[in-house]
Amino acid sequence: MMVATTEKNMWAVELLDAAKTYGKTIQALRGVNVQVGRGEIFGLLGPNGAGKSTLVKIMMTVIKPDRVRGTVLGQPVGHRATMARIGYLPEAHRFPAYLTGAQLLDYFAALAKVSRSDRRGRAARLLERVGMSQWANTKISKYSKGMLQRLGIAQALMNDPDLVVLDEPTDGLDPIGRRHVRELLLELKAAGKTIFLNSHLLSELEQVCDRVVILVAGSVAKQGTLGELMQHTLEYRIVAEGDLSKRDGEIKRLGGRIDGDTITLDHQNRAKVNEVIDLLRSGGHLIESVTPKRFSLEDIFVEAMGHATTPDGGIPMGKPVARPS
């Protein structure tokens, strides 16, 4: 489906100041902003309990937020006609076990008002695409967790959506299944779709996301394009001979840390590294090795979890902190 040219908003999804309290005390979201560019793969990442599913459910109008502003595909959150242009894989989905995979796809697509003729061909194509063709006529009650997940992804694509929202799409999949999901995401992106995915797992997704938000305890701990997040993530290690502790003051001034025969320079550029090398060589130290180490998104994630603070100054944990009454 083409994106209507009347949609001026450059974001496929823009949610602003999203907040949700469950009951009286569980602050699942504390005023979160996310922006997803059209045609991007967006990753909402964070540990279990961070509030990822809550944000997705607000966008999908499954739950009512305390507050939220913003747009989805250029329309206010909850706009009825726009919902038909979104495909959604909910977390921990439970499909009627007495249906077969093919019946389930037909059923959901009928609910989404996909015509009967489109449903047939599309169901077969999507079952094929997620490697489930041979199970099409088997009852869902017989499916493994991985098979359920594949079916769930096919279900989310039955209405040929412009925006695909996948809550933990690799949940229950083995490494090969995860790779298939990655490939499918790239295929969907190439077909012009916008993808919004939630995940508490990183290594498999950092390769495909254009932009990520890291959510910790209901607040955004870090965000940006992968390029932005990875910009200051180079560390250098210099190993040299001789007693380095004599150089401690000078090396500290250059931003280095000495540990035995190793000097570590955090977030430093090449010029600084060369200054340290000059210093060492002029002091008669032989350089053994210089090694750059680039951090993965996972390292950044761990750092974000350690450094983030909640608005009330609390220590973030996997679970949101109860609001003081």
Ligand X SMILES: Nc1ncnc2c1ncn2[C@@H]1O[C@H](COP(=O)(O)OP(=O)(O)O)[C@@H](O)[C@H]1O
Q: Which of 257, 225, 226, 230 is nearest to 244 (CA)?
A: 257
For 21, half-sphere exposure in the C-beta direction (CA atoms, 13 angstrom radius) is: 9
Q: Return the SS3 of 26.
A: strand
Nearer to Mg ion, 91 or 261 (CB): 91
135, 147 Cβ separation under 8 angstroms? yes
Q: How many residues lie near Mg ion (CB under 5 A)?
A: 3
98 touches which of Mg ion, ligand X, none (CB within 5 to 8 A by kind)?
none
- For residue 51, state whether it binds ligand X (rule: CB under 6 A): yes
List the one residue from 22, 25, 96, 128 that touches ligand X (CB under 6 A): 22
Kindly tell me which residue out of 13, 19, 32, 50 binds ligand X, with binding defined by CB under 6 A.
50
Question: HEC states along 6-30?
Answer: CCCCCEEEEEEEEEEEECCCEEEEE
Please state, in angstroms and rounded to a whole number, the distance separating the CA atoms of residues 251 and 237: 13
Q: Among all residues, whose Cβ is closest to Mg ion?
A: 53
Tell me the closest approach of the beta carbon of residue 198 to ligand X, in angstroms: 6
Are β-strands 256-259 and 262-265 bridged in parallel, bridged antiparallel, or unpaired? Answer: antiparallel
In angstroms, the CA 95 to CA 198 distance is 20
Closest CA to 185 of 86, 58, 42: 42
Cα atoms in the Cβ-side hemisphere of radius 13 Å centred on 59: 34
Stretch that binds ligand X, among 43-51, 73-81, 223-231, 261-269 (CB under 6 A): 43-51
**320 touches which of Mg ion, ligand X, none (CB within 5 to 8 A by kind)?**
ligand X
Residue 52 binds to ligand X (criterion: CB under 6 A)? yes
- Report the partner that residue 28 touches, choosing among ligand X, Mg ion, none (CB closer than 5 to 8 A by kind): ligand X
39-58: contacts with Mg ion (CB under 5 A): 52-53
Q: Does 17 contact Mg ion by CB under 5 A? A: no
Of 49-57, 67-75, 205-213, 277-285, the window that binds ligand X (rule: CB under 6 A) is 49-57
Helix, strand, coil distribution of the chain in percent, nearest 5: 35, 30, 40
Q: How far is the CB of 130 from ligand X (least distance, A)?
A: 23
- Asked if residue 320 binds ligand X (CB under 6 A), the reply is yes
Q: How far apart are CA 188 and CA 192, in angstroms?
A: 7
Q: Which is nearer to Mg ion, 68 or 273 (CB)?
A: 68
Task: Please list every residue from 150 through 169 that binds Mg ion, using CB under 5 A.
Answer: none
Q: Among 14, 40, 42, 46, which residue interacts with ligand X (rule: CB under 6 A)?
A: 46
Q: Which residue has the tokens 């250098």?
A: 236
Is residue 65 close enough to count as binding ligand X by CB under 6 A?
no
Distance CA 83, CA 59 (A): 10
Q: Retrieve residue 68's tokens.
A: 């939220």
Which listed range, 42-50, 64-72, 143-151, 204-212, lies at the site for ligand X (CB under 6 A)?
A: 42-50
179 binds, among Mg ion, ligand X, none (CB under 5 to 8 A by kind): none
Tell me the pairing of strands 211-216 and 194-199. unpaired
Positions touching ligand X (CB under 6 A) are: 22, 26, 28, 46, 48-54, 319-320
